[in-house]
Amino acid sequence: MRVQFKTLRAGPGGVVSPGQVVDLPDEEAQEAIRSGSAVEVAAIASPENAALRIGPPAFKHTGGGWYEFPDGTRIKGKVAAEDIAAARADDEVEAGEDTPEEGEEEASEDLSEDEARRAAGE
């Protein structure tokens, strides 16, 4: 059975990262689903279960309290990075798109005024 893991899993068989889809024996897959650490891929594919889909992280920790977004923007402080990620997610939902269309410009690497104020803790 194909499942997508929601949590990190490590063991003698290797490491499975959150969001990774793997084939498991039915009994092992059912146990992972019951424990809440995975969801069945067939359940994820249905449109009404869009919330179960796990995407790439909004930002990553680069050390020393700094966090980097996929567009290259760097922010000091986890709370500020979480606030900016949430604001960006809200903007994407309002705009009705997840990524720029082909031919559109990528997001600017400069912070908006609101993001800069949040990052500064104002």
More reliable by pLDDT, 21 or 76: 76
The whole-number pLDDT of residue 30 equals 92
Task: Note the pLDDT tens digit of each residue in 50-67.
Answer: 555 555 677 888 999 898
Q: Is the pLDDT of residue 36 over 60?
A: yes
The C-alpha atoms of residue 63 and residue 108 are separated, in whole angstroms, by 23
Instruction: State the chain's mean pLDDT as an integer.
Output: 75
Tokens of 41: 């891929």
Which has more pLDDT, 62 or 47? 62
CA distances from 93 to 10, 11, 90, 112 (A): 34, 37, 5, 18
Q: Is the pTM of this model over 0.85?
A: no
What contacts 111, CB < 8 A, 6 or more positions away? 73, 75, 84, 119
* pLDDT band for position 12 (cuts 50, 70, 90): confident
Residue 93 has what pLDDT?
A: 55
Mean local confidence (pLDDT), 91-102 = 55
Whether residue 44 is predicted with pLDDT greater than 60 in this model: the reply is no
